[in-house]
Structure 1
Amino acid sequence: MSDRDEAPTAPDTAPEPTSGGTERPTEPVKRRSRWRREYSPEEIEAAKQQWRDMRPWESPMPRADKVLMGCLVGALVLGLATLPIRPFLLASHPTLLAAVTGSSSAIGAGSAFARIGQADLWLVIVAGIVGKAKFDWLWWWAGRRWGAKGVKLFVPTDRAQRFVERVRSWPLWAMFLLVIAAALPGVPSVLVYLLAGLAGLSLVGFLLASIIGAGLMTELVAGLGYTLGQSAVDVVLLVDRYALWITLSIAVLIAFQAGRAQNKKQKAAAKR
């Protein structure tokens, strides 16, 4: 063998002699990944204690809390699961899409089709109200059952916690009006609904305020769609033509954002 030939590399494991003189391979040495951080028992216990302090339910978790949490997770999963198919349903079944998602674009599209005689305007409005208000009561229930801890779990910001202390002294009529206003764009509706339950607004009063707010917003969007008529329909049909590419773009964007967030976490862990 020439000098330039490389010598074989030694294996990670060396044979271990047995009592009978034979050799047996040892277990492979586990190499620590540079991206993995070892947590001390104290850090693990502190994280567990932080979760115990943050969770709003008792341990073991009561059945009512399991039902409530399951419904909330189901509502969030439904909203995420319908994202890829929304462009396809926008032109073919806008009323159904409005009832399932409460999407303002679906309400506008349905009312535009109603303007040219291809849908019933009243049905579009009813579907929009149902779609916008159907899961609001779950957040009210969370606020009523879990109180300030429920607000901290879902809206863990210092501003939200300060707002909790203020809202306890508000009259119920003010909370009723705030629930109506929660349907407007830009208003943190989840926080408002949690605070409504925490403040003691009755379920009947909450549902009435939620329906009024959803109705006002739906009628506003439907009025715009009905006024635009054929112009809005043309835009909807254009969206439908490129629905596949829109869906793929959304999927790529979500994957890109998730990958970038994971890279940031790995870089932060590597610096520690």
Structure 2
Amino acid sequence: MSSLSFAERSRRWVPWQGRRATAADVALMAAIGGVIVLGLVVRPLRPYLIASNPVLLEFLGGGLAEIGAAAAFARIGELPLWLAIVAGVAGMIKLDWLTWWAGRQWGLGIISFFTTSERTKRFAERARELDPWLLRLAVVLAPLPGVPSPVIFALAGWTRMRLIPFLLLDALGSLLITGLVAGLGYGLGQHAVDLVLTIDRYASLVSLTIIGFALTVPLIRKLIRRLRRKEVGRLSTGPAGTQESRPG
């Protein structure tokens, strides 16, 4: 029973069906793991690249802040505005096909992997019956802030949307949001650049703080769990440190 219980609990971290993973499952999980590692590597580099090479940071990170910063540099003539927009779009969509593939390969399994919300899972199951045009519109709107884009991209793959239309719709939505953010950054111009340069000046401190925080938090959590276990053990024993005797 205990092994079965463990297997049931481990299903949360296994998006595929069945006991054994196929070669495609392993390759896809490795690719998703690579995306996670890339995000962890880029995070401490952001304070440096946002001032020295915002176009590269746009492509690597694909974030809205990076797009706005690149457009601000374009305003003062450091780089062409079209390059900031193209790099922003490429950065936002470069790995979305992996999520589409995961939806095609695993269906609801990958959606459950992305979210624990039962409401989102029910929505995903109902969305399979939606008009295909509504799903296409959802893909276009997925890059907007606050929208669960991984769920929508996985749903597109699950419903067998073809890859080329998916990439075109994804690129269209990313172009719309990139153009909007780039326009704001271009309008701010020198004020935004001054802010970016200030961030760059303190880049070392920011990076060390991020790295230190990432290393410290797991240790603190581990210490808290250890203290809680000791407290539970102390309360379960008598004053002398032995099990309290019960009346016979």
State the TM-score bracket (shorter-chain normalisation). 0.7 to 0.9
User: In the TM superposition, what whole-angstrom CA distance separates every residue of 1:136-185 from its partner, at most 9, and x where no partner exists?
Assistant: 11111111111112212222321222112211111111011111111011
Asked if 1:183 corresponds to 2:183, the answer is no
Structure 1 stretch displaced more, 152-161 or 82-91: 152-161
Q: Distance in 2 between matches of 1:140 and 1:161?
A: 17
For residue 78 of structure 1, what is the aligned residue in structure 2? 38
For residue 164 of structure 1, what is the aligned residue in structure 2? 124
Asked if 1:65 corresponds to 2:19, the answer is no
User: In the TM superposition, what whole-angstrom CA distance separates every residue of 1:216-258 from its partner, at most 9, and x where no partner exists?
Assistant: 1111111111111111111111110001111122223323432
Structure 1 residues 145 and 123, CA gap change in structure 2 (3 angstroms): same
CA shift, 1:99, in A, is: 0.9
User: In the TM superposition, what whole-angstrom CA distance separates every residue of 1:186-212 from its partner, at most 9, and x where no partner exists?
Assistant: 111111111121223221221111101
Q: Which runs of 4+ in 1 moved over 6 A?
A: none
SS of corresponding position for 1:56: coil
Structure 1 stretch displaced more, 238-247 or 196-205: 196-205
Percent identity between the two aligned chains: 42
Aligned runs of 1:5-16 on 2, under 5 Å?
none
For residue 91 of structure 1, what is the aligned residue in structure 2? 51
CA shift, 1:78, in A, is: 0.2
Q: Distance in 1 between matches of 2:7 and 2:27?
A: 23
> Is the Cα contact below 8 Å between 2:101 and 2:154 reproduced in 1?
yes
Q: Distance in 2 between matches of 1:195 and 1:136?
A: 12
Q: TM-score, length-normalised on structure 1?
A: 0.79
For residue 48 of structure 1, what is the aligned residue in structure 2? 7
Asked if 1:258 corresponds to 2:237, the answer is no
Aligned runs of 1:207-218 on 2, under 5 Å?
207-218=167-178
SS of corresponding position for 2:51: helix
For residue 19 of structure 1, what is the aligned residue in structure 2? none
Q: Distance in 2 between matches of 1:264 and 1:188?
A: 32
One-letter amino acid of the structure 2 residue matched with residue 173 of structure 1: W
Aligned runs of 1:117-132 on 2, under 5 Å?
117-132=77-92
Aligned runs of 1:104-119 on 2, under 5 Å?
104-119=64-79
Asked if 1:206 corresponds to 2:169, the answer is no
CA shift, 1:44, in A, is: 3.9
Number of positions where the alignment pairs a residue of Structure 1 with one of Structure 2: 231
Provide structure 2 residue ranges, at least 5 long, that are not aligned to the other structure.
Answer: 234-248
Structure 1 stretch displaced more, 182-191 or 246-255: 246-255
Q: Distance in 2 between matches of 1:181 and 1:138?
A: 18
